[in-house]
Structure 1
Amino acid sequence: MNACSVRLQIFLQLQAVNKELCSKFESCLGASPSRIEILHYLLQHEEVTQSALQGEVNIDAAAVTRHLKQLEAAGTIVRYKKANDQRATWVKLEEEAKRHIQQSFHEKSQFVDETLAGFSDAELEQFLQMLSKVSENVSRVTKKQLGGENHEPNV
């Protein structure tokens, strides 16, 4: 196989693995990646203002608000104002939801362990470095494209 063909095969394999991982991971946790990010942040923090949450997660503010409204309607979170500060809206997980999420994250951890089974610590370190390099390259290419530069792919 020539270098161009190998690069294409790697790219296609990354796409296929990503699609399958996302599907399995979401079914394992029963939520989208954005919602998982919100829930994980709330699990780590007892209570937080909605504006602070919006600043901490990598999701636009309008989407965070939509997720929070849906989570509130489902009884997963509570949004409230404090007596001493009526300007800020505070968010926290309901206790039952917290237990459920902790169990889901335990299942997620098992899923990750099983997915990466058979790799040595050294292989995992090398794999992480390689994925980081791919991520940096994707960011660089994306920035170039957003900057209006034409760039011919090396495929």
Structure 2
Amino acid sequence: MRDNCVIQLQIFYQLQKLNNNVNSKFESCLGSSPTRIEILHQLYNADEISQSTLQKEINIDNAAVTRHLKQLEAAGLVSRRKKAEDNRVTLVSLTNSGRQEIAASLQAKKSFIEQTLSGFSASEQEILLDMLSRLSKNVSTVEI
């Protein structure tokens, strides 16, 4: 039987490797960065949202959200306008092209997830979800 410390290090290494691989493949599958996809999904669920609220929802700094929105606006996926009652507030919404992009990304995301979990039974998926939830909880309580 292998040393428990060696097994734990291998688990940790495999988790890091899996995370990097999933992020890379998922980004390639969707053709966009995870942050941009998250911005588009937030906008998909709201008719219109203030840029500052969006920035808080996706938890990135103001300059980064502005940069992403400018690029998405240049691509015709989002539109921005100043709020009539308060010119300091910028409102953001998806364009029709943006809505179509999200619909396509949802299908690509579904296909990616199905392929990733291929070969896992429903009960194995439940067990995996439980284990990952416990790992996530443990990580959140690690004292640094």
Report the TM-score, using the length of structure 1 for normalisation. 0.84
Q: What residue is the counterpart of 2:53 in the other structure?
A: 52
Structure-2 residue corresponding to 1:112: 113
| Pairwise CA distance, 1:73 | 2.1
Query: CA contact under 8 A between 2:50 and 2:90: conserved in structure 1?
Result: yes
Flag the 1:60–1:132 CA change in 2: closer, same or farther, 3 A.
Answer: farther
Given residue 14 of structure 2, which amino acid in structure 1 is its aligned partner?
Q
Report what 2:91 is aligned to.
90
Q: Partner of 2:28 in structure 1?
A: 27
Q: CA RMSD in A?
A: 1.5
Q: How far apart are 1:59 and its partner, in Å? A: 2.0
Q: Structure 2: how far apart are the matches of 1:101 and 1:64?
A: 18
Number of aligned residue pairs: 143
Asked if structure 1 preserves the Cα contact closer than 8 Å seen for 2:76 and 2:97, the reply is no
- Once residues 59 and 134 of structure 2 are traced to their aligned partners in structure 1, the CA distance between those partners, rounded to angstroms, is 20
Offset at residue 140 of structure 1 (A): 2.1
Structure of greater relative contact order (alpha carbons < 8 Å, 6+ residues apart): 1
- The whole-number CA distance in structure 2 between the counterparts of 1:130 and 1:58 is 26
Superposed structure 1 runs of 4+ greater than 6 Å apart: none
Asked if 2 retains the 8 angstrom alpha-carbon contact of 1:29 and 1:105, the reply is no
**TM-score if structure 2 supplies the norm length?**
0.90
1:16 maps to what in 2? Answer: 17
Alpha-carbon deviation of 1:97? 2.3
Identity %: 55
Unaligned runs of 5+ in 1: 146-155
Runs of at least 5 residues in structure 2 that lack an aligned partner in the other structure: none
Deviations 1:107-130 (A, max 9, x none): 111110111122222221221121
